[in-house]
A and B are shown apart, each in its own frame.
Chain A
Amino acid sequence: MGTAPERMTRVTLIDRLRERQLVVVTGKGGVGKTVLSAALAHGLAAAGARALLLELDPRESLHHLLDAPPSGGEVVEVRPRLFLHHLDPRIVLEGLVRERLPVPMLARKVVASPLFRQFADAAPGLKEMAVLGHALRLVGGKAKPAVDVIVLDAPATGHGVSLLAAPLLVAEVIVRGPVGDLAREVADFVADPRRCGTVIGTLAEELPVQEAVELIGMLRSRLDRAPEAVIVNAVYPVPPRQGTKAPPGTAAAVTLWRRRRRVNEREIARLAKAWPGPRIEIPLLPIDRGPDLVAEIAARLEAAPIPGQGRR
């Protein structure tokens, strides 16, 4: 022990994610998932990967964070190697039906029927599977522009795991036919740890940590997977030592600072107990939500080493 040469290369989360084709960013609503997704894509592009940021929220907002015009359903290059794509899952699903149904007239009829609309809106997993299928095609070298890695800002509704479990669910229910085939293909893609990874965003607060821990458990039990990392966003700085003199009128704020930090530390400890894997803490930053914040978080992600054995 101790004689082995220090050959551990310093690996960052960005290095690790560069080896993937799809990175799903998930976590409770309100933890800054969209900003974290943008920062990850920004970091990946800066590291030389052709990175595509995929947005599903109907109220398109990612372009504000990247100082770019809205994607309007197209893939747009917002800066060198960084692409942005806003997707309507329903349109992707319709495209899929058109593409996969053997009879074009039948496909048109199906897509136009109210029953299909109702079903597509209501059935869990179908739209999610279509989105993942779309991502698979984008990184499969069959679509233009060619991209190396996709960062998916997963919807905040419910647990992000349902997105990843969707292809499995669909494959279990629809065992045959083109939809069943696609579901299996996408399920294999998602199940491959070399191709697809998950990043969980959280705040160091009770409910977000609770949800992150549940997510980790569900990833493990339903997909036999672990996240690449958990990013703890907006952590309060370490407070000054007790008794340090505060300027007049700021005592209450300093007390709030101390108590917030205590909550943060308690929750980070709870997270660490449930998740001993890579964890990156991003401090609460006095920067308005926008391109500067994205760049600053990206810089911190690029600088934070994560434990690991270098390349696998």
Chain B
Amino acid sequence: MTRAVIDRPLLVVVGSGGVGKTTLAAALGLSAARAGKHTLVMTFDPSLRLKDALGVGEGARDREVAVRVDTPGRLEVSLLDARAAFDRLVVEYSPDADAARRILDNRFYQHLAGGLAGILEYMAVERLFEVTAARRYDRIVLDTPPTHQALDFLEAPDRVVGFLESGALGIALRPWFDERGRLRAGVGPVRRGIEELLDRVVGLDLLREIAEFFQAFAPLYEGFRRRAAEVRKLLRAPETLFLLVAGPGEERIPDTLFFARRLREQGHHLGPIVVNQTHSLLPVDSADPRLTGHMGEGLRLLAWLGERDARGLVELRGLLGRDQRLVDLPFLAEPPTDLRSLEALGRQFHERLAASAAG
């Protein structure tokens, strides 16, 4: 029954850094494969231990590789690499090898484009488009980049479409320079005057390279725009469910509420909110003065953590209302280091999800 809650073709796992998104994404992928779904987990930056657990290495960078696991459905994993994906895309969509080279060799591309804000996010979106278009999977679990403003990722297609449709691009694409690299503005002394001023302000060489970059990129724009618009739709489709992962404790609540509100405002479908890494309550009180000595002091700390996280859950539940499913997962002594413990985490998630319906 409860499996139906998250039984969607595309699951997007979002949340702040350090809350266990990637591990949970892998666990959900594994449990989907166990349930017979042909599944892909797309992720960014898994820990070495998680990579070991899945048995994938650098071979999975920027492409899908199968996890060696005996499940009714196949499980595949890919590690997203923005720069490599961008370079590949340039080569793939350029009209010829020369055109591709012109972009890849451009100083502006090398220095700036590779680190352009949102590029990592955008490349994930590109990949998502390719993978969903190929329809090779029943289920895709998409892990999102560990940024504080994790929602940058979701806005990447909007930003790209916005940029491509804004006048800015038209300005950048105008033939500013002639074949001899001279500015096409004014004539004679006026042109030289403008050139001198621009040279003094940012350097004419840089402007030339920026103009070259945008022009070399021109054949790629239409494709970018079209795909970004498709993904924009996909991320808002009813078949796409967002799983928000949060840390425990009252201090994280503002973050969680912020993410949840933004997701809804942007027209995404928010599924359960997972409060991860929750310490359990102890049968002792953190303020009990009888807890002394080495053991006592440690238990007071652990009891305090349990009380803090329980308080956080109660408060969050009150703020979110009854309609929002809240799944709390216990703090693990150590994140899963093999497929068995990963599978156990997936089972635990489904158990807690079932319990969340009763409450």
Which residues of A approach B to under 8 Å, CB–CB? 28-31, 57-59, 101-103, 114-115, 118, 121-125, 155-158, 162, 169, 172-180, 203, 206-208, 210, 237-240, 244-250, 252-257, 259-260, 263, 284-286, 288-289
A57 to B306, CA, bound (A): 29
- How far, in whole Å, are A272 and B331 apart by their CA atoms in the complex? 26
Instruction: Give Cα A124 to B115, complex, Å.
Output: 6
Distance in angstroms between the alpha carbons of A204 and B300 in the assembled complex: 21
Bound-complex Cα distance A57 to B147 (A):
12
Per a CB cutoff under 8 Å, which of B118, B199, B251 touches A288? Answer: B251
The smallest beta-carbon distance between A232 and chain B, in angstroms, is 15
- When distances are taken between beta carbons in the complex, the residues of chain A under 8 Å from B197 are 102-103
Q: Does chain A have a CB within 8 A of B18?
A: yes
* Known A30-B19, A206-B47; contact A237-B298, beta-carbon cutoff 8 A: yes
Known: A114-B168, A257-B298. A30 touches B163 (CB 8 A): no
- Known contacts being A155-B148, A157-B147, A175-B203, is A250 close to B283, with CB within 8 Å? yes
| Residues of B with C-beta under 8 A to A247 | 283-284, 299
Stretch in contact with the other chain, from B5-13, B105-113, B130-138: B105-113
Binding site secondary structure of chain B = helix
Does A124 lie within 8 Å of B112, measured CB to CB?
Answer: yes
User: What are some 21 contacts across the A-B interface (CB < 8 A)?
Assistant: A28-B17, A29-B18, A31-B18, A102-B201, A103-B197, A115-B171, A115-B172, A124-B115, A125-B112, A157-B149, A174-B206, A176-B202, A177-B200, A180-B202, A210-B48, A237-B301, A244-B295, A246-B295, A255-B333, A285-B301, A289-B251
- Asked if B305 lies at the interface with its beta carbon under 8 angstroms from chain A, I say yes
Write the nearest CB–CB distance from B267 to chain A, whole angstroms: 22
Q: Is the CB of B202 within 8 A of A177?
A: yes
Tell me whether A284 and B201 are in contact in the complex, defined as CB-CB below 8 angstroms, given that A29-B18, A30-B19, A124-B112 are known contacts: no
Which residues from chain A contact B118 at a C-beta distance below 8 Å?
122
Interface of B toward A, CB cutoff 8 Å: 16-19, 47-49, 107-108, 111-112, 115-118, 146-149, 163, 166-168, 171-172, 197, 199-203, 205-206, 247, 249-251, 254, 258, 280, 282-284, 286, 294-295, 297-306, 308, 331, 333-335
Closest to B166 in A: A114
How far is it, in angstroms, between the C-alpha of A103 and the C-alpha of B203 when the chains are bound? 16
Inter-chain contact A177/B335, CB cutoff 8 Å: no
9 nearest A-B pairs in the assembled complex, by CB-CB distance: A30-B18, A29-B17, A259-B333, A124-B115, A286-B304, A249-B283, A176-B203, A115-B168, A289-B251
A155, A157, A240, A285 interface centre (most CB from chain B within 10 Å): A157
Cβ-defined contact, B112 with A286, below 8 A: no
B282 touching A253, Cβ below 8 Å: yes
Q: Which residues of B contact A254 (CB under 8 A)?
A: 295, 298-299, 302
What separation, in Å, do the CA atoms of A122 and B169 have in the docked complex?
Answer: 13
Is there an interface contact between B286 and A173, defined as CB atoms closer than 8 Å?
A: no
Decide: A118 near B166, CB < 8 A? Known: A102-B200, A176-B200, A180-B203.
Answer: yes
